[in-house]
Amino acid sequence: MPNILIIEDDSAFCQMLQKFLIKRGYDAEICYHANDAKEKFNVTDFDVILTDLRLPDYDGIQLLDDIKKVKPKTPVILMTGYAEVGTAVKAMKQGAYDYISKPFTPEEIIMVIENALRTKPSDEIHDTPSVQKPKQKNTTSKPKENLPEKTILGVSDASKKLDDYIKLVAPTDMSVLITGDSGTGKEVTAKAIHKNSKRKDYNFVAVDCGAIPKELATSEFFGHIKGSFTGAIEDKTGNFEAANGGTLFLDEVGNLSYENQIQLLRALQERKIKRVGSTKEIHVDVRIITATNEDLALAVQKGSFREDLYHRLNEFSIQIPSLEERFEDLILFADHFLAKANENLNKEVHGFSAEVWEAFRQYHWPGNLRELQNIVKRAVLLTVGDEVKIETLPKEVLQSNYHNTTKPENFSKSDFEKDRIIKALKKTNFNKSKAAKLLQVTRKTLYNKINHYNLDL
């Protein structure tokens, strides 16, 4: 059982994180102060150390240095609410394994911890051969937590079409570009593709390209060898090696610098990499799935994204619909997030009041599924009884501009469809071609619907 030390001055958050990790099968110890932490890591060998970058009684970078002097091979993950690129660079150069910004999701912290455990120096092959075979998951070790999500199959036409696309492309080795608004579930879709592919028994490695400083991107992607640069005190396996045989998911790929785009393109074309500081080539077999909420085609036109890389990544594209575009699935997703919140918070909330459902229906959900999940989790935390009440919802939901007096139980499919068409037309400034594309129907079908409902437009 992996042993983890958590150093965090926010006692409530610290205890919640400890409880979560123990529930996931880890042995987690906590300290609120640097001095207590020093006593622990001086006498105990931890598999991973999680520490807050900003402690009230000690500097986080100094604590990192203290840890590395005593336990140089222990991966240290820094947590902070202050996403400072300069600090991240400094921390990584001084030997931090990774850097994660609060608030983070349970899946994100599990992924970082699992990656750290897989790349511990004692588990690495320091004399890397020129050809490395893909590493299959060790079935005797702790099960991977990278794919814990239960896939929710929606009932809306948009969700059914999304599911069809996933099943169609998953068995292939095609590179997939996933687009959609923030919070729509692009990573969940990428995991579903991996889970339904022939690579499902190998690693799924997710990388947030927007969180990697360009100075560190090469090392993150391809790894480095000890002594290759200041702070490289141990060999490190890069994302490509970690995903060998499996799937590498590059989120917010549009944020990569032009130089990093060239390096990525070369790795995809040649299917081989070199660790920073090494001359040995390592052959890799990875499937690439990328995601962005930006218009990469427009970025290509502007010259900020390489056209050859864009076509390499865009062998098949999937547009994730917004929550408004699959509003029929709202109840399914809300119930799913309610169950997750109950599990994470050890609560037993059984449902939502009619007033809550009405507020959910009226709200326009700009943050999509991520916002729904956060709001449900917050509401469950604040709920005293066994039902989520209206007073537990945040003010932005209660003050929604989407006023509709129709009660949820009387809200028919035709009412929903009309409402959806009107919203799509308003969102596209009444451009019927764009609205039809948004609704994922033909232009002729949209005209027929408008005539059917006698919409005065």
Structural domain boundaries in the chain: 3-123, 157-319, 324-410, 413-452
Q: Could you tell me the fold of the domain covering 413-452?
A: Arc Repressor Mutant, subunit A (1.10.10)
Asked if the domains 324-410 and 413-452 are classified in one and the same CATH topology, the answer is no
Strands 48-52, 76-80: pairing is: parallel
Query: What pLDDT sits at residue 448?
Result: 76
Query: What pLDDT sits at residue 137?
Result: 42
CATH of domain 324-410: 1.10.8.60
Question: For residue 93, which of 274, 239, 219 has the smallest C-alpha distance?
Answer: 219
The CA distances from residue 399 to 395, 402, 451, in Å, are 6, 9, 33
Evaluate whether 342 touches 377 at the Cβ level (below 8 Å): no
Q: What is the mean pLDDT of each run of 10 residues along the chain (457 residues)?
A: 89 84 89 90 91 82 88 87 58 77 75 79 37 38 38 79 93 95 92 95 91 85 84 83 95 92 94 91 95 91 94 95 86 90 92 89 89 95 93 87 43 64 79 75 77 77
Indicate the SS3 state at residue 6. strand
Query: What pLDDT sits at residue 134?
Result: 44
Evaluate whether 271 touches 312 at the Cβ level (below 8 Å): no
Query: What pLDDT sits at residue 416?
Result: 64
CA–CA gap between residue 11 and residue 111 (Å, rounded): 23
CA–CA gap between residue 340 and residue 373 (Å, rounded): 9
CATH architecture of 3-123: 3-Layer(aba) Sandwich (3.40)
Q: Decide which of 3.80.10.10, 2.60.40.10, 3.40.50.300, 3.40.50.280 is the CATH code for 157-319.
A: 3.40.50.300
The reported pTM is: 0.60
Strands 287-292, 281-283: pairing is: unpaired
Strands 3-7, 48-52: pairing is: parallel
CA–CA gap between residue 205 and residue 290 (Å, rounded): 12
The CA distances from residue 102 to 39, 81, 83, 99, 185, in Å, are 26, 5, 8, 10, 19
CA–CA gap between residue 326 and residue 332 (Å, rounded): 11
Query: What pLDDT sits at residue 131?
Result: 36
